[in-house]
Amino acid sequence: MRIFMDTANIEDIRRGVAMGVVDGVTTNPSLVAQEGVEYRDRVLEICEVVQGPVSAECISETADELVEEARRIASWNEHVVVKIPMTEAGLGAIKRVSAEGIKVNTTLIFSPNQALLAARAGATYVSPFIGRLNDAGHDGMAVVRESVQIFEAFHLPTQVLAASIRLPRDVTEAALAGSHVSTIPASVLFQMVKHPLTDSGIERFLADAKKYTPV
């Protein structure tokens, strides 16, 4: 399973990339607004750091407007993947821009049927929102699992990208469900590195090493 970071904080992204485990980034205008920078400038900066897929969101509502916006955003950098929401207009736009070679991440997926429709329209990724589904009393990971099974059964090239990750355990469950990608907040990614037994083990090894005189 590939790992994307879900953030617009460039320092966190650099830290994740330095770890050697980050394959891409997902972001949106809300995350960029928190950074106090221009949207296009930050997307380009992220592309330069990551050198991998960077999802940037479209905010238009009609199919024609989404197509024009997707073309404009995709032209920013070869690594840009445009995020288009799961709506009737969105599906029409996905069909058109994917035929032009523009990569699309269909966002706001909440059911396997939505994932299937987005895949048939030509999406590169579909993003089930795990945390929001769980908040509403549904089994978010079931949507990931069933979407993966459908795509594999019919040999669809679209990848499932588990989104709205809240906890390190969500990442484990997404991997077990067969998700192709998980997009993870920086705080969760850095938590995944840590374990108290690892820390205590290092402390013990260092303490024992001090007992020996270097040769």
- Residue keyed to tokens 């966002």: 107
Tell me how far apart the alpha carbons of residues 213 and 168 are, in angstroms, rounded to a whole number. Answer: 40
Classify the phi-psi angles of 108: left when phi > 0, otherwise alpha if psi is within -120 to 50, otherwise beta.
left
Which pLDDT tens digit goes with each residue over 103-155? 999 999 999 999 999 999 999 999 999 999 999 999 999 999 999 999 999 99
What residue ranges define each of the domains in the chain, with the CATH number in brackets?
2-209 (3.20.20.70)
Active-site annotation, residues? 83
Beta carbons within 8 Å of 186's beta carbon, 6+ residues apart: 5, 6, 7, 9, 12, 13, 15, 16
Nearest CA-CA partner of 163 in 61, 103, 83, 73: 83
Which pLDDT tens digit goes with each residue over 41-99? 999 999 999 999 999 999 999 999 999 999 999 999 999 999 999 999 999 999 999 99
